[in-house]
Amino acid sequence: MRRNMKIGFIAVLFFVGLMTVHTGFCQESGHLPTQAVYVELGGPGLVYSFNYDFRFDKSDMNSWGMRLGAGGYSVTDESLLTLPVQINRLYGSGRHFFELGGGATFVYYRDRWETYRIANDGHYYYETRVDKNLLWILETGDTPALMGTLNFGYRKVPEEGGFLFGVNLVPAFNQNGFWPLWAGVRFGYAF
């Protein structure tokens, strides 16, 4: 638990540092905010994820781009790691954009628990089980696994960079089915 708190704290410091370094550059040059760092609750990262998003064409906000993220948690005997990757396109003008995209999320999940049973001879036997099947949202089967994701959303990006906000609908699918109603909300910084 303590290790996870340290990793989270380092990630937050990294993103704050990155935002601070680029703030002056974006405001002085009149440069379009074609890059962003943000935290997303829900979405392709399932629980939450830290993400970096960029446009391939740095001179056009209405262009194709990519997002890379990492998220998850670890508590007592349960852990989840997600790595969402998506290709996306923005459509809009000024500060308001419709976002359309798709990609995949790498999922690694483990749940351990101990049970005990009494044998015929009266002795107690402990047994440890490990479940590697994430049943939340979509059954993944044994993990590590990949889950396909789509993205339909709204993104508000200040013209000179700054606070970014977005909401999105993220249908998910894999070999076991399709989950059409999953959503995410994001807060971050565009530069």
- Asked if the model's pLDDT at residue 11 lies above 80, the reply is no
User: CA–CA distance from 147 to each of 1, 23, 89, 103, 110 (Å)?
Assistant: 27, 35, 20, 9, 16
Domain ranges of the chain: 2-190
| Lookup: tokens for 114 | 């101990």
Give every CB contact of residue 127 below 8 A, 6+ residues apart in sequence: 114, 115, 116, 117
d(CA 72, CA 48): 7
pLDDT in tens, 82-138: 999 999 999 998 899 999 999 999 999 888 766 666 666 766 666 666 676 766 677
d(CA 89, CA 65): 6
Its CATH class, for the domain covering 2-190, is mainly beta
Dihedral of the alpha carbons of 159, 165, 167, 173, in degrees to the nearest 10: 90
Return mean pLDDT, the chain. 83
- Read off the pTM: 0.75
Mean pLDDT of 21-50: 78
